Structure 1
Amino acid sequence: MIRPVSLFPFALLSLAPLSQAATLTGLWEFNNASNIGKATVGNDLVIVGTAPTHSASMSDGTTSLNGVVATVAGPANYLRATHGIAPNGGGSGSYVNEWSIAFDVFSPVASRNSWRALFQTNQSNSNDADYFIRNTNDTLGINSLGYSATGINDSQWTRVVVTFNLGTTLASDEIKTYVNGTLFATHNDMALDGTYALDPTLLLFADNDNENASLNVSTVAVFNGALTASEVTALGGVGSAIPEPSAAVIGGFGVLSLAFRRTRRQQQA
């Protein structure tokens, strides 16, 4: 999604570039109303069931983002992402154990007291989703992972980033959730090759028993490693640019080049 950007070279140079271990492999920005699943980076999304509705822009009353889809509730309706990540992180060598995912989302009024699924690792969507915005208090997670201590403001555009390094014994590498660039929750670690290890595809906004109320979505991004705290901070808050691979190169000048190419379309309403 293309938006104008002001240049602040010194600020940009201070941002840490993404490491080679966390390369962007999939980016979907919903710019194309006639091809909702069109990828900016990686493979196009496959629409399963009823297609999301597309809006050229959407405001939460303060922030307006261009290129937005409203997902459709129900177990038959979701998006299938071929994430493009090779098996990694040990285990059997068949699954992705180190990865990260980012969303720019906010909840329609009608969804705010409902479960809202963000992703599902089960390829047949035959069980509960694996990460939620909770119905009662807008906390993030699921029972097995544990939920964040506080909830998000679901009436505002929010960037949620979840990072996975499965089976690690290092506290610094546990499963973590960040909101608008800041650590929001540290979750329970999960096993190598287990529930949170990925097959070649990942289901977005999917759940088997209607716990996937509609969400407004402006960006989804997938990375092939567990982003560090500094890398998530560099991604910024909602509407900030997701650096494409050509920008995530060695040194600050790679990050600086992002300013000349593109940014998430954000404006004050």
Structure 2
Amino acid sequence: MKSVATALSLLLFVAVSVNAQSVVGHWDFNGNLNGTIGAPLVGVGNFFFETAVIGGQVAQVVRLGDDEWDGDDTWTTGHNTYFIVPNPIGANGGGSYTNRYTIIMDVMFPVTPGYVSLYQTNPNNTNDGDWFIFHDVPGDERTNGLGISGNYSDPGNPLRFQDGVWQRIALVIDTTTPSGGDSCVYRCYINGQLQNIVQSPSGWGVDGRFSLESTFLLFADNDGETQEGFINCLQLRDYPMSDAEIAALGGPSAAGIPIPVEVSGTVNLGDYGGDVTTVPVTIEIRNPGETTPVETRVVNLNSSGQYAFTTGLKGTYDVAAKASHWLRSVKGSVSIAPPSTAVNFDLINGDIDGDNEVTLFDFGGLVAAFGSVPGDSNWNPDADLDGDEEVTLFDFGVLVRNFGAIGDE
């Protein structure tokens, strides 16, 4: 549960901002607490760097708890072991704190008796945890479910957390959504599948119990409802992920949680004075030297001509951009790597017939639409090269300037 921040710390916290819909924190626990993305974690209590086998592959992991894990069902020296996680997201969701986010982790707990806290929004750990594994009542259908406020399973959903097995679990939070039904976005996932929607979390609402300050705690609880366990990877995103996005992550792996790459940049629509936000641009990611795309995105530009999307691809690719009456431009050998890759394009105008060349066929298309405006029988929006909603001599001038140009394949 979130504590009350001082006015100064709140002002500093609100000043932090990041790009929307991105990974803002990623920790692999490869012998240290450094972030692959983001600042290092801070460990409190007993934790040890070890190796484990996940999916048949050896992984670097962290064990929380005893100097020598004895396989019992209680903490001995490790009941206060937790991690302080930096949160760079800042204010969102219309509040003064972080109200929309996703937490993903690959974990294994050999035994989960009682309640096992997974995270705590109160940086001082002075009240109850905020996401638990429940294993308290023999025969209770909620046993080994994930959630809070007495809600640990959805009726009819048999999916449960399993002791002694590596699993990828995720919590999606959007405190701007209403409580009282399935529209409440306190959503728990196991290995890419929705396990539970907590319909009425206590303390729900913007800047309430489940909002985040500039740090939160992993595996912490004020009265020690914690357990010996292992973690291989932790990821924090600055938005509530969809069911499809969570499903695409699948289950745990020794390599950890995939990091999507944000591909972004500016598309300059040459010789165009119209509203660029109405012009869809097709972006293709291709293997170097090939023309068949391995991934295609149709993006909308903002008023400054900027675009952004995320991809799971990593490596060296060619990236192509094409809009309706502009020639294709290809940027070769682009290194796509996390967290982000910038690719900018300048597109040449005049390709009225869409064959990726400016030729006499385009001149014919302009002549056929000459003098028209929207609503006329001969109106052709692709002949309105300058975007002024008329086909005039100005469009003819654009075509003449670029006549003979050929786009990249």
Q: TM-score range by the shorter chain?
A: 0.7 to 0.9
**Equivalent residues in 2 for 1:256-267 (5 A)?**
256-257=313-314
Listed one character per residue, the Cα deviations across residues 130-155 of structure 1 (whole Å, up to 9, x for unaligned) are 111113321111226x2124421122
If asked which structure has higher relative contact order (CA below 8 Å, sep 6+), I would say: 1
> Which 5+ residue runs of structure 2 have no aligned equivalent?
1-18, 66-74, 137-142, 265-282, 284-294, 297-310, 317-335, 339-409
Change (3 A) 1:258 1:135: farther
What is the aligned partner in structure 2 of residue 23 from structure 1? 22
What is the aligned partner in structure 2 of residue 225 from structure 1? 239
What is the aligned partner in structure 1 of residue 312 from structure 2? 255
Output the CA distance in 2 between the equivalents of 1:205 and 1:79: 7
How far 1:76 moved relative to its partner?
3.4
Given that 1:132 and 1:142 are in contact with CA atoms closer than 8 Å, whether structure 2 keeps it comes out as yes
AA aligned to 1:125 is: N
Output the CA distance in 1 between the equivalents of 2:114 and 2:184: 31
Given that 2:234 and 2:257 are in contact with CA atoms closer than 8 Å, whether structure 1 keeps it comes out as no
1:38 aligns with 2:38: no
Given that 1:181 and 1:237 are in contact with CA atoms closer than 8 Å, whether structure 2 keeps it comes out as yes
Given that 2:26 and 2:37 are in contact with CA atoms closer than 8 Å, whether structure 1 keeps it comes out as yes
Equivalent of 1:188, from 170, 195, 199?
Answer: 199
1:135 aligns with 2:192: no
Output the CA distance in 2 between the equivalents of 1:235 and 1:212: 26
Change (3 A) 1:258 1:42: farther
How far 1:187 moved relative to its partner?
1.3
SS of 2:135's partner is: coil
**Equivalent residues in 2 for 1:37-186 (5 A)?**
37-50=33-46, 52-55=47-50, 57-59=51-53, 63-72=56-65, 73=75, 74=78, 76-91=80-95, 94-108=96-110, 111-136=111-136, 137-143=143-149, 146-149=151-154, 150=158, 151-169=160-178, 171-172=182-183, 174-186=185-197
Given that 2:106 and 2:257 are in contact with CA atoms closer than 8 Å, whether structure 1 keeps it comes out as no
Listed one character per residue, the Cα deviations across residues 208-242 of structure 1 (whole Å, up to 9, x for unaligned) are 11211111111111100100111112222211653
Output the CA distance in 1 between the equivalents of 2:256 and 2:64: 22
Given that 1:75 and 1:207 are in contact with CA atoms closer than 8 Å, whether structure 2 keeps it comes out as no
Output the CA distance in 2 between the equivalents of 1:261 and 1:67: 22
**Equivalent residues in 2 for 1:204-243 (5 A)?**
204-239=218-253, 242-243=257-258
What is the aligned partner in structure 1 of residue 342 from structure 2? none
What is the aligned partner in structure 2 of residue 17 from structure 1? none
Change (3 A) 1:65 1:191: farther
SS of 2:263's partner is: coil
How far 1:243 moved relative to its partner?
3.7
> Which 5+ residue runs of structure 1 have no aligned equivalent?
1-19, 263-269
How far 1:65 moved relative to its partner?
4.8
Given that 1:89 and 1:96 are in contact with CA atoms closer than 8 Å, whether structure 2 keeps it comes out as yes
| Aligned residues: CA RMSD | 2.6
AA aligned to 2:152 is: Y
What is the aligned partner in structure 2 of residue 4 from structure 1? none
1:244 aligns with 2:259: yes
Output the CA distance in 2 between the equivalents of 1:76 and 1:153: 23
AA aligned to 1:41 is: I
Output the CA distance in 1 between the equivalents of 2:164 and 2:119: 20
Output the CA distance in 2 between the equivalents of 1:141 and 1:65: 30
SS of 2:312's partner is: helix
Output the CA distance in 2 between the equivalents of 1:54 and 1:261: 27
Given that 1:100 and 1:225 are in contact with CA atoms closer than 8 Å, whether structure 2 keeps it comes out as yes
What is the aligned partner in structure 1 of residue 290 from structure 2? none
* Count of paired positions: 231
TM-score of the two chains, using structure 2 as the length reference: 0.52
Q: Percent identity?
A: 32
